[in-house]
Structure 1
Amino acid sequence: MAKNISAPSNSIFLINCLLAAQTAFQPFQSFTRTRLEGLRSTIADHSARLVESQYAFFRAESSLEPLFTVLSPLSDARSSDVATLPSLPELRPEALARAAQGLDDFLPSAVMDALENVKNLHDARLAREITEEAADRFCADFEHVEELLVAADEAVEERRARGDGGGGEERVGLRAMFPRTTGEIRVLLS
């Protein structure tokens, strides 16, 4: 029946069915142990799909998907590529201002909106755990972006101090245009 339902609703439907079956088998563990293990495994698989769905929701609705996409290939804040970050279209002042505003608009109701996506899941504890795991992954991505923005600002300042940095024009740092911190995001998504 779930094959005719689109994602993520199909995973919610399956988890609800599997939880009901698990509840029915629970009193008879002596001879349903193998079946229960299979049910738990399938529930875990579909829960992981819901985590992915919630994670994609956080990325898209926060307006940070473009930043995450362009910065995810950079694995190290000490990379020589960091100094070139301010030239990326996604890190131009107007793009960063849009991303920061989108994030600020999203954060006040982010968790409630995400929980709304899994409201039909009968196990409220599981819905909360799925959403928290997705939020943790989102925070890890945000932390990576924050580290790279700080590193890019430091690299530009170092170049400017050495006299390599584009004359005397005044430049607003990336962090000044995108001031949210990972700590703030973690608090707002908890």
Structure 2
Amino acid sequence: MKLSSRKVLSVLRRGLTPNRPYHAQWMLTRRCNYRCRGCNVWRNQENLKELSADEVKRGLDVLRQLGVMEIVLSGGNPLLREDIGEIIDYASQSFITTVYDNGSLALEKIDALRSADFVAISLDTLDKNKNDYIKGVAGAWKKAMEAVETLQKEGIFVGVSPTISQLNLYEIVDFTSYFTDRGVPVWYCL
């Protein structure tokens, strides 16, 4: 993790202020290139109006003033935004910043992801066919696994984020062991 001393001091000051929000998750877009069975965000892709990068920056300024220390940029898939690099760079100046991806775009956007503190790749099971079924896209498992491996080699702090459901509940222990044995943290969505 690459936290500058300026950023650490800023985050600590906010953390020492009582009764303030600590964490915010921002759905930057509803656009998604996957069709996950446990998510409906992709079902309505018409007339999607997104905030501009400048509007997002103003929102981040407000969150910082409120005392938020950690921001999670999610979606849909936030990496579908053309301006995601600009947004990540801005957020990373003031927040501990996590960016979510389903694994499909991380390698294309690797330079934009370098300023994030964490990248979370959505991956639900070690079973390739089952993961592709859950994600609704053939090849999703392979792309996610390649993204995790490449980001890790590039020195980007990457973790996997499975959504626990009836389709993978009984695999979670083995799933967790597989990744933690390789130095990859697991962040669960419930």
Give the number of the structure whose residues are more often helix, by fraction: 1
Give the number of the structure whose residues are more often strand, by fraction: 2
- Higher relative contact order, structure no. (Cα contacts within 8 Å, ≥ 6 residues apart): 1
